[in-house]
Structure 1
């Protein structure tokens, strides 16, 4: 006989529903700003941004997928679209040609540099402004805690993360 579910308390449910609402609404708001101002999705922007901060503006697709917490298939579709726009190009990895790298083009660099101020302003408006330094620290701690649980996969549901 399966164990009885451990139902959420009223307080836990309120916290969960607030987080769920945030998870649904924040990406849409950030997507809307980037699409309106730069014809980029949030995922596109993050892919270009990660490349822009990487030495040589080059990264293996598998490493880029890891940094974006994305599957290779999802990233591959985005990379193809960004490549058609001339924002990046794919090349065989110089160290191991079995791998493919994404290389940020000058056009991609210029677009991510142009998009950054508007994106940062939106992040400030929707997330950062109005928070105390302590709240920002707590937000980071909570986000890292949830990300660690997600990284541990199904085992996180059986073993609490006490770190």
Structure 2
């Protein structure tokens, strides 16, 4: 069974995007740890997020959730119409884990089934039109926190 891990950068007020971009100035250290973490694994993302990353695609393969589009001009991209399909695609690749990387609707869709969350908690509150889904903190355990300049890296695991 593939381990599903949500990876996101989230402001203190839950915001993660504005107009398809990060609402805060770039944090190179965070971007680097994010890219290194997901580099060798498949990533699950929505079509709009996928299209916004075409110049620099993340992960070893992209599992693109889309109700309509089913073919992409990228050899590493795979279509999935839903959660079960996305998991099946990752399993067919022999992946031990797949990273859920957005956008907001995809995080929300996968929140009930992810096993872990790795969240970059960006210091400050920002205006935005996309937020990370709320979750029941009683169902999750914070297992690691790493302080950085301008953000803290948190790792959460779902309680049994």
The TM-score, its normalising length taken from structure 2, stands at 0.27
Greater RCO (CA < 8 Å, at least 6 residues apart): 2
Higher-Rg structure is 1
Q: Which has the higher helix share?
A: 1
Q: Which has the higher strand share?
A: 2
Relative to the length of structure 1, the TM-score reads 0.26
